[in-house]
Structure 1
Amino acid sequence: MAEVTPMMKQYLEIKNANKDSILFFRLGDFYEMFFDDAVLVSKELELTLTGKDCGLEERAPMCGIPYHAAENYIVRLIRKGYKVAICEQVEDPKMAKGIVKREIVRVVTPGTVTESVMLDENKNNYIATIYKVGMYIGFAFADVTTGELMCTEFTGVNGLINLVDELARLNPSELIVNQAFYDSADINYIKQRFNSYITPIADEEFNREDAINRIKKQVTNFEDRKDAPSTGYVATGTLLMYLEEIQKSNLEHINKLNIYSAERFMSIDLSTRRNLEITETMREKARKGTLIWVMDATKTAMGARMLRSFVERPLIDVSKINERLNSVEVLKNNPILRADICDCLNKIYDIERLIGKIVYGSANARDLVALKLSLIQLPELKQLLLTIDDDLISKLTENLDLVQEIKELIEKAIIDDPPITIKEGGIIKRGYNEEVDRLREAGTNGKNWLAELEANEREKTGIKNLKISFNKVFGYYIEVTKSNLSMVPDYYIRKQTLTTGERYIIPELKEMEDTILGAEEKIVVLEYDLFNEIRKIISGEIERLQKTASVIANIDALSSLAEIAEKNNYVKPTVDDGDIIEIKDGRHPVIEKMMADGEFIANDTLLDLTENTINIITGPNMAGKSTYMRQVALITLMAQVGSFVPASFAHIGVIDKVFTRVGASDDLAMGQSTFMVEMVEVANILNNATKRSLVVLDEIGRGTSTFDGLSIAWAVIEHISENIGARTLFATHYHEITELENKIENVKNYCISVKEKGEDVIFLRKIIKGGADGSYGIHVAKLAGVPYAVVNRAKEVLKQLEDADISKKNMKDIKKSNVVVGQVDLFNMKGTAIAAELEKLDLNGVTPIDALNILYRLKEKL
């Protein structure tokens, strides 16, 4: 039986140990793939599929890519949902005895990529771990490019819901989960809603003792607190284990574990994040048209990520909110100082991710120069910050370590414009190392000697275009064109014949070649070693650099909030623990930016926990109800971020959670009906909202019959008023609902004003007190271009329906005790008697003709 070749045997052994990854197997200047990997990759990347003799009867399928272009190919595979294992030659082929030794140096997964081309600089790339056992869910996440590491624990009946809300905020690229959780039905809920790459790990790997030991090894000054989340620790330890296996290198920049509670921040569930379009639009999944698009005027990538974390996690601690607001106010009121600060920030690179590259050993000389240029800005930045009288900014300034010794090291050691590669020399500055200087001088002298030799040979032979050149195959040689071959002297030794001439060598040229190449080879090796030493020195100051990067990110985020406050004419909100949400001349922060100046119609809002708890909003479709309600939610969110808000005045009593129920488009593709999705979301709100929450309900009950929808809407409002007490905005097309203002003390009616001009309607987009007079749906149809004949017929049908509308006749008679009976009891008292008669009817004892007679009799009673 045929056996595979030694090289292919080595490949198969490594592949068998990495079955879940595509193996990039280094062969010289290429990464090769074989067998199933080759077939798969050739298809996914549109590469030519060839074959290679492997010792078997059939050739092994093969495809390959140049090693220097691997990054782009890896990106494409990662985005398609694959893992890639990088197998490198770990010894010099010249020194190898037999097959060159190869090892996996790194496995690239969606959550562990570090290359800039694979990352969005404005947002974190998270990898997270979920450990669910009983009613406890341990959760940990990290960003391997910045060193961030955090953990928490979710418990109780809402544990899974809270987990999903946190996943919605973080949107991790990769999830590690315990096998039991992976095998449960709960995993399908997560798979349907997130595009994370999910890897299950055996439950026995989730061990508390091992987890604590890993955390102690990784995290500086770690203490195992008794009040800490136990399952959160287990999730953290397993995450660290996974990263060590994947990265195949140290993780020294992941040196701090933040234990957090989601309750410290405003709760925003998955549906609400999408409905409010905080970081991406619902339809296009784009950044433009979102809240973060409006609020982000940061100058650095670190600042952009920090601001995003502000916006995704609004605060609920009033003192912290006001501390941030005060800093924004100081910066807003000092535009010249702010401009100088921004000028410094503009010249600062992504220090957080540069640190990650340095730790992983992937930073090149240009990365170090970028770090140096960033550190050069710090003394001036600190001097500017010291002039600001503000508590938060003063605390940040104290922590701004200038790290000038690192700047000076790079300045002294690395040339200002180094090449990308670090393995071909030319990166160490003259004067940094005596041996490098000596070898360079030897190489320079050798090249001067070559120039003199070329001039002498031209003179001796009379060949004016004779030249000395070099390539890696022949080394240095003398090239003579075909027209001058008759002038070549006898001591020239022919090396190669070309169509255009001949190439020769002479003994003294080969002697000098050995000297020059020997010096160049030594320089390359020495410069590489020196560069690694410099990286190691910088790695020793990682924690200082991380602290500085965090300060810069915070200052940048605060400056951005000040910038948009001034640019967009925002006002500083009053934020306290009170019950009031009062907004004067509120504007939707996103829509006003997408309209011409002055076109957006501002509106007021008043919500409290006494007389104005629930605002029912009626009015025609397309008139602006949804925009208005979203703007109230966004203004509240912005205030708790610590941002100024689009209004002339705002008083925000802190909310703990914000809920919105707007559309069902996200779940329709999952096989759920519009109405079912709507009711699931309503149930979530009713089960989880508190007295401190803000609830936005837009047109609930549309997915069922009119009476069903009206009944549900009515009951929901009563339940919120009597059992929850949350401040609520409730838009509806059921005009009968406005009767609740007369029945419930804390319900108030508002509507979108319209102006009728003959048969035309102008939507004024102004919120006024009172209920709407009509739905104006036919007018909307007319505006949309529905044919004239259809519009006219609709008017006729509407008139007939309005004349026969039984709900109008009975709405004022509805009492609380009747609500639970059903839609017939609510709106048609005749139906009660009919229902009672039907209930008593014995269908099995009635003949078909008797049944028909009963039906006729019941119909006459209507």
Structure 2
Amino acid sequence: MAKYTPMIEQYLAIKAEVQDAFLFFRLGDFYEMFFDDAVLAARELEITLTGREGGMDERIPMCGVPHHSAENYVARLVEKGYKVAICEQVEDPSEAKGVVRREVVRIVTPGTVMDARSLSETSNNYIAAVVLSGGGYGFAACDISTGELYVTRLDGSFELLLDELNVYSPSELLGSPALLEQIRGGSAAWLRSAVMTERESRTIAPGSVLAPEGQFSDAQLAALPEGGRETLSLLMGYLMDTQKRSLSHIKHIRVYEPSQYMVMDPFTRRNLELVETVRDRSKKGTLLWLLDKTVTAMGGRLLRRWIEKPLMSASHISDRLEAVERLYHQLIVRDDLRTSLKEVYDLERLTARIAYGSANARDLVALKASLQQVPLLQQLCQTSGSATLAKLAARIDPCQDLMMAIADAIVDEPPVSIRDGGMIRAGLSARLDQLREASTNGKMWLAELERQERERTGIKSLKIGFNKVFGYYIEVTKSNLNQLEEGRYERKQTLANAERFVTPQLKEKEALILDAEESMVGLEHELFVELRDRLAGHISRLQQLAELIATADVYQSLAHVSASNRFTKPEVGEFFELQIEEGRHPVVEAVLEDGVFIANETSLSKETGSMLLITGPNMAGKSTYMRQVAIICLMAQIGCFVPARQAKMPIIDRIFTRIGAADDLIGGQSTFMVEMMDIQIMTEKATAQSLVIIDELGRGTSTGEGMAIAQAVIEYLHDTIGCKTLVSTHFHELAHLEESLRDLRNYCMAVKESGQQVTFLRRLIRGAASTSYGIYCAQIAGLPSGIIERSYALLHGFEARTELLKSGQEAAATTATEQEDTAPVPAPQPDPAPSASYQIEQLSLFTVAEQAAEKPSAPKKDAKAEKVIEQLRSADLMNMTPMAAMNFLHELKQHIASKS
């Protein structure tokens, strides 16, 4: 019976251990893939699919990539969401008995990427783990490229878990199959594109290799919340399984409470465009784009985290604002900081690569250059006059001993590879210096030999060369072969136009030179690894330094942007009142090419009203105004100055927004259903310290139902929750709520009309709007003039009918009141609710009939009045067309008029 060759059997055995990953199987200078892996990889990487014999009748599908460029192919597969297992030869083929032993040395997954080319400089690449624990969830997130590790417990609803996942946007998520399936079906549509890795949590013995106890101190583990140890074990076990090496740079657990930060759901983050735009998910046009004037990669990542997680502590916010204020007023200090920070490389990722064992000599030179800037940075912070920056400077460890260790050992411009030599400075190792001298002397001897052979033979083109296969040789073109002495040269290789020779003397010197160079390269590698390991022993020092430098970078960035854009320091505290004088939307203002942004006031308090009902036309600036209030609140709580003349900001615990139409087609939800789901979350989660923003409340259904829902939601937010609320609507009829709701105030966007011209002034004013200018907006959008003219004609017709309905309603009510018949008339049974296709005319007519029928008749009957009432009773109002309803009402009016 045929069977696979020993090598294919080995491949299949290793593949069985990594079934969810591509297996890059090392064969010589290539990583080969076989069977289904080869077919899929050939398609995804667009490389040639071939085949080879494997012991069976059919050839095995095969494809491969060169080992020296494998990282590029690995990166492409990981970017597509695949995992790649790297399988290397772990014994010398010359010493192997049978098939060379091979092992998987690392598994690269979307959440464990370390290659700098595959990572964004200014955003983290998180892998997260989730465990169901009691009535909540254990949550952990780690960026293996920086060593950051966050752990918390989320008590409460499933939506809270989705909110937290949305903050970290992990590229890979670990959890049980049931929990991952629930997350896939959640409302966070973006999460469906993340890689979900099913992995059951397990109990890890304290002494095992995978035990996180070996990674962290007892004090850190004791501080973990309920479910934290289980979640941490799940995450660290997976990382150690896939990386198969020490993860000593992941050693500090940052335990936090969700209540330390403002909460925002995925819809709010998207609507406010904090870190990516709604339209094309780009950075430009976002709050991060505006505020990011950081000059280090780690500063850029920290700023993003600050924006994603605004603070809830007034004292911590005050500390940040104090540092920004000092730098705001000191241009020279700020510029000196920026200049110095420009020389600092990505310390977080450099440190991680050192601990991981993947840093090369150029990485160490970058670390040295960064550490050289630390004394100046420390001095600038100490003398800035800021108490916050002075405290930061006091915590800085300059790490100058590490800088000197690198400076003494590594040359200024080393090669990329650490296996080619040329990295170590002269004087570090006496043995290395001796080998270098031998190599240098040997090469000088070769140059002298080449000169002598040219003179002796008279062949000016004669040269001495080297390759890895044949070693050193003397090369002579074929046209000059007759000038060589017979018996002096030993033929080594024949080329098309030349012959290569060796001499006994050259062979002897070759052995000395190659031995020296091989020993020299090996010794340099040994010295480099020794230095790298020594630096790895100081990872904690370097990580803390990186965090402090990143913080200083964010402070100067916020100060720079605040000064450049005329922002103001806000007053932030534990009070209810929110006051913004001349507030502006910072991003919209920044991208305006022509004109000036119109500033607006905002006052939300117990005295002036905590709920604004904003009416007015589209394109007048309602959505921009509401967004700017939310953005200003968020900016204040990250410790940034705000775009206003003056601002008094309370601590906001949550921001909820419902802005713009958004179908969830993947989830099968309509725009209106998505809106209702958003509002459901608001009504369930909002507190009196929350800010709720709803744009165009109640649209997406019939007019009557929309108004009913809008009023009910407004009343609930006002009476039950009592939060600060901004609501915009086209239902001008809701303006009457100001009379019944104590904290509600009517506002609208000012409009200037001049003949047929309408100008949107984009200024918020007190009072309710009377129209929405929808047709005018359609005209601005460029709809054909025929459509615009027809729209105005239809609008006038609708308005005329509404007036007619009002007169008929008043007349019918008057007639019913004048009746003297005391016999009660039974009220009709309520009809089913009208569908969305029915017009408002029918609703109004139904009201006329109800009011007339519910009034008691006079004892003395009037024949004509009785006829009107009887017609109303018998009319099938719910099945009338709008035109039939108008005709019926006209006939009733004629009957009433003829009575007089």
Name the TM tier (shorter chain).
over 0.9
1:274 corresponds to which residue?
Answer: 270
Shift of 1:213: 9.0
Is residue 236 from structure 1 mapped to residue 232 from structure 2 by the alignment?
Answer: yes
**The residue matched to 1:635 in structure 2 has which SS?**
helix
Q: 2:217 — aligned with what?
A: 220
Say yes or no: does 1:299 pair with 2:295. yes
Q: Distance in 1 between matches of 2:833 and 2:874?
A: 27
Corresponding residue of 2:50: 50
Query: SS at the partner of 1:496?
Result: strand
Q: In structure 2, do the counterparts of structure 1 residues 825 and 215 end up closer, same or farther at CA, with 3 Å as the change threshold? A: farther
Deviates more, 1:187-196 or 1:753-762: 187-196
Matches of 2:172 and 2:710 in 1, distance apart? 40
Compared CA separation, residues 856 and 325, structure 1 to 2 (3 A): closer
Retained in 1: the 8 A contact 2:140–2:231? Answer: yes
Partner of 2:755: 758
**Which residue of 1 is the match for residue 167 of structure 2?**
169
| Counterpart residue identity of residue 362, structure 1 | S
CA contact (8 A) 2:162 2:188 kept: no
* Preserved CA contact (<8 Å) 2:333 2:384: no
> What CA distance in whole angstroms lies between the structure 1 residues aligned with 2:228 and 2:684?
26
Amino acid at match of 2:386: D
Distance 1:209 1:597, change over 3 A: farther
1:222 CA displacement = 2.7
Larger radius of gyration: 2
Which blocks of at least 5 consecutive residues in structure 2 are unaligned?
A: 814-831, 835-839, 855-870, 881-887, 893-900
Q: CA deviation at 1:321?
A: 0.6
C-alpha contact (below 8 Å) 2:220/2:253 kept by paired residues: no
- Between the aligned partners of 2:879 and 2:433, the Cα distance in structure 1 is 108
Deviations 1:576-625 (CA, angstroms, capped at 9, x unpaired): 11111111111111111111375211111111234311111111111111
CA contact (8 A) 1:127 1:173 kept: yes
Q: Tell me, what secondary structure is at the counterpart of 1:667?
A: coil
CA offsets, 1:532-579, max 9 Å, x none?
Answer: 111100000000001100100100011100010111111111111111
Separation (CA, whole Å) in 2 of partners of 1:666 and 1:329: 43
**Could you tell me which amino acid in structure 1 is paired with residue 80 of structure 2?**
K
What is the CA–CA distance in structure 2 between the aligned matches of 1:471 and 1:857, rounded to whole Å? Answer: 96
Q: Which residue of 2 aligns with 1:181?
A: 179
Please say if 1:786 is aligned against 2:807. no
SS at 1:714 equivalent:
helix
Alpha carbons 1:582, 1:605 under 8 Å: kept: yes
Distance 2:654 2:135 in 1: 22
CA distance in 1 between counterparts of 2:611 and 2:380 reads 48
- Say whether residues 1:738 and 2:735 are aligned partners: yes
Identity %: 48
Query: Deviation of residue 146 (structure 1)?
Result: 1.0
In 1: Cα distance, 2:878 partner to 2:704 partner: 24
Task: Please report how far the alpha carbon of residue 300 of structure 1 lies from its aligned counterpart in structure 2 after TM superposition.
Answer: 0.3
- Aligned residue in 1 for 2:389: 393
The yes-or-no answer on 1:155 pairing with 2:152 is no
Contact (CA 8 Å) 2:25, 2:88: kept in 1 or not? yes
Hey, what's the Cα distance between the residues in 1 that align with 2:476 and 2:266? 74
Q: Is the CA contact (8 Å cut-off) linking 1:125 and 1:143 kept in structure 2?
A: yes
Superposed CA deviations along residues 816-842 of structure 1, whole A, max 9, x for unmatched, are xxxxx989999759449769999xxxx
Structural mapping, 1:425-464, within 5 Å: 425-464=421-460
Deviation string 1:395-453 (CA, Å, 9 cap, x unpaired) is: 21111111111111111111111111111111111111111111111011100110111
1 CA distance for matches of 2:200 and 2:366? 42
User: What displacement does 1:502 show?
Assistant: 1.0
Which residue type is aligned with residue 751 of structure 1?
A: C
In 1, Cα distance between equivalents of 2:265 and 2:665: 18
Supply the distance in 2 between the matched residues of 1:652 and 1:800 (Cα, whole angstroms).
48
Distance change >3 Å, CA 432–CA 673, structure 1 → 2: same
For 1:368-388, what per-residue CA distance to the aligned partner results, in whole angstroms no more than 9, with x for missing partners? Answer: 110011001111111111112
Residue in 2 aligned with 1:818?
A: none
- Alignment partner of 2:48: what SS? coil
Q: Is contact 1:210–1:237 with CA below 8 Å preserved after alignment?
A: no
> Structure 1 residues 138 and 832, CA, compared in 2 at 3 Å: closer, same or farther?
farther
Q: Partners of 1:489 and 1:408 in 2: how far apart?
A: 57
The alignment partner of 1:394 has SS state of helix
Q: Report the secondary structure of 1:804's partner residue.
A: helix
Output the CA distance in 1 between the equivalents of 2:208 and 2:689.
37
In structure 1, give the amino acid aligned to 2:262: M
- What is the identity, as a one-letter code, of the residue corresponding to 1:176? L
Give the 5 Å matches for 1:20-31: 20-31=20-31
TM-superposed deviation, 1:744? 1.4
Residue 419 of structure 1 is matched in structure 2 by 415
Code of the residue aligned with 1:336 in structure 2: it is I
- Does the aligned pair in 2 maintain the 1:150–1:260 contact within 8 Å? yes
Preserved contact between residue 736 and residue 808 of structure 1 (Cα < 8 Å): no
In terms of mean alpha carbon deviation, does 604-613 or 483-492 score higher?
604-613
The offset of 1:29, in angstroms, is: 1.5
3-state SS of 2:449 partner: helix
| 1:405 aligned partner, one-letter code | D
Taking the aligned partners of 2:231 and 2:703, their CA distance within structure 1 comes to: 49
Partner of 2:818: none
SS, match of residue 94 in structure 2: coil
Pairing of 1:448-847 with structure 2 (within 5 A): 448-490=444-486, 491-596=488-593, 599-665=596-662, 667-805=664-802, 828=844, 830-831=846-847
1:115 aligned partner, one-letter code: D
**1:543 match: secondary structure:** helix
Which of 251, 257, 262 is matched with 2:258 structurally?
A: 262
Distance 1:618 1:212, change over 3 A: farther
Alpha-carbon deviation of 1:211?
11
* 3-state SS of paired residue (1:19): coil
Task: State the match for 1:855 in structure 2.
Answer: 876
Q: Compared with structure 1, are the counterparts of its residues 294 and 492 closer, same or farther at alpha carbon in structure 2 (3 Å cutoff)?
A: same
Q: What is the SS of the residue equivalent to 2:140?
A: strand
Residue 2 (structure 1) aligns with: 2
The whole-number CA distance in structure 1 between the counterparts of 2:287 and 2:203 is 39
C-alpha displacement of 1:103: 1.2
C-alpha contact (below 8 Å) 2:51/2:62 kept by paired residues: yes
**RMSD after superposition:** 2.7
Partner of 1:316: 312
Would the aligned equivalents of 1:215 and 1:222 in 2 still touch at CA under 8 Å? no
Q: Secondary structure at the match of 1:110?
A: coil
Q: Which amino acid aligns with 1:356?
A: A
- 2:124 pairs with 1:124: yes
Q: Which residue of 2 aligns with 1:384?
A: 380
Moved more, 97-106 or 267-276: 97-106
Letter in 2 for 1:383: Q
1:846 corresponds in structure 2 to none
Q: Which residue of 2 aligns with 1:14?
A: 14
What is the rounded CA distance, in whole Å, between the counterparts of 1:233 and 1:210 in structure 2?
15
C-alpha distance 666-825 of structure 1, shift in aligned 2 (>3 A): closer
SS of corresponding position for 2:217: coil
Change (3 A) 1:658 1:822: farther
Aligned partner of residue 186 in structure 2, secondary structure? helix
Q: 2:371 aligns with which of 371, 375, 396?
A: 375
Query: How many angstroms apart in 1 are the aligned matches of 2:613 and 2:209?
Result: 53
Amino acid at match of 2:197: T
Any conservation in 1 of the 2:612–2:725 contact (CA below 8 Å)? Answer: yes
Change (3 A) 1:338 1:652: same
SS at match of 2:656: strand
Q: 2:197 aligns with which of 196, 199, 203?
A: 199
Partners in 2 of 1:550 and 1:438 — Cα distance?
43
TM-score, length basis structure 2: 0.89
TM superposition score normalised by structure 1: 0.93
Moved more, 488-497 or 443-452: 488-497
Per the TM alignment, residue 60 of structure 1 is displaced from its structure 2 partner at its CA by 1.4
Q: Do the aligned residues in 1 keep the contact of 2:610 with 2:743 (CA within 8 Å)?
A: yes
Contact 2:276 2:283 in 1 (8 A): yes
What one-letter code is carried by the residue in structure 2 that aligns with 1:535? R
